[in-house]
Amino acid sequence: MSTAQSSVSASSSTSRSTSSPRVAVVGATGAVGQEFLDVLAQRNFPMSEVRLLASARSAGKSVEFAGKTHTIRELTEESFKGIDLALFSAGGSISKKFAPIASQAGATVVDNSSAFRMTPGIPLVVPEVNPGDLKGIELGKGGIVANPNCSTIIALVAVTPLHRAAGVKRMVVSTYQAASGAGYAAMMELEQQSHEVLRGQAPTCKIFKQQYAFNLFSHNSSMLENGYNEEEMKLVKETHKMWGDATVKIAATCVRVPVMRAHAESITLTLGKALGEDEAREILAKAPGVSIIDDRAHNRFPTPIDASGKDDVYVGRIRQDISQDDGRGLSLFVCGDQLRKGAALNAVQIAELLLK
């Protein structure tokens, strides 16, 4: 276990409540931070206190939450005194600096950035996939839990039930990722560009280096020497970590599409044993966090609009992969809201598992 997980200062005490914790939301003014607040309110997450934290630039702003007006506080090293649970969504550099400080103060951290996902000893968790990895983490006693990347979460909610039934040996994923994955500013730029292009004007390109409206392009994360980008390799490495099996062959192609929110993914699997499409559909229909839209007669399958603002991952186009022999190939199409299940909801669900 890392120092960040295990270190708890003297400020942690037996008076901390794990049934009605004191909660801090770091990055409360961002797109995911706002979604944190919506999810906490909608799920009636029990809290004795909520502390909304952001940069000095946002400090002093007012935010409505749970029927009350709250003032944004500046994030400092003293922000976590008395806090039991800290939900982080302010970027990797902020998490690297402040998450260990929060843990040291006794707060259990659920971090939405990539800062700790592959750190040994820090669990990377999707509650529908590997809740057992939270063993040893106690609310209000420090520790860090990492929230996986949005595309990984959405894929694994759909694929893990099939993996349990038939053993995935190979997974090929193509993602169609919405503006929400790049934050509120990217969503606003997509809206602005759409107006500009329809008026015949040159699009404003500040967030991305090329036109986004009515276009699509390779995901904007950094390219690596192996020809894959960081987003694609996150899906590979995070899946291996959560499944506890690095032998599964995974290849991903991640693409930005001009959709406001909710990612889509085309997934083809090679299974360890034959699995018919009807049986696969039955397995997925019973899986937690999954909804089926699979109406071949009317060509009706999941869309980002179906998933936007929803908690479930939507699955359709469930069919045998005719390029593979012995019934061991399966293909499906998946949509999930990046801001909810791909980020804020998953983090809150982790916190709910830690409640006692």
- 263 is annotated as an active-site residue: yes
Cα 313 to Cα 125, 299, 307, distances in angstroms: 16, 19, 7
Instruction: Please name the residues in contact with 42: beta carbons below 8 A apart, sequence gap of 6 or more.
Output: none
Question: Which two tokens mark 236?
Answer: 């590979």
* 114 Ramachandran zone, left/alpha/beta (phi>0; psi -120 to 50): alpha
131/139 Cα distance (integer angstroms): 15
d(CA 305, CA 215): 18
Q: Distance (Å, rounded) from C-alpha 273 to C-alpha 306? A: 32
Enter the tokens of residue 210.
Answer: 């090329």
Which residue among 150, 163, 219, 335 is the active-site one? 150
Active-site residue, selected from the candidate residues 163, 219, 254, 263: 263
Q: Residue 160 in contact with residue 128, Cβ under 8 Å? A: yes
The two three-digit tokens of residue 331, written as one number: 């293909």
- DSSP bridge partners of 214: none
Q: Based on the residue annotation, tell me whether 150 is a catalytic residue of this protein.
A: yes
C-alpha 351/C-alpha 60 separation (Å) is 27
- Copy the structure tokens of residue 232: 């694609």
* Contact assessment for residue 88 and residue 110, using Cβ atoms and an 8 Å cutoff: yes
Q: List residues with catalytic annotation.
A: 150, 263
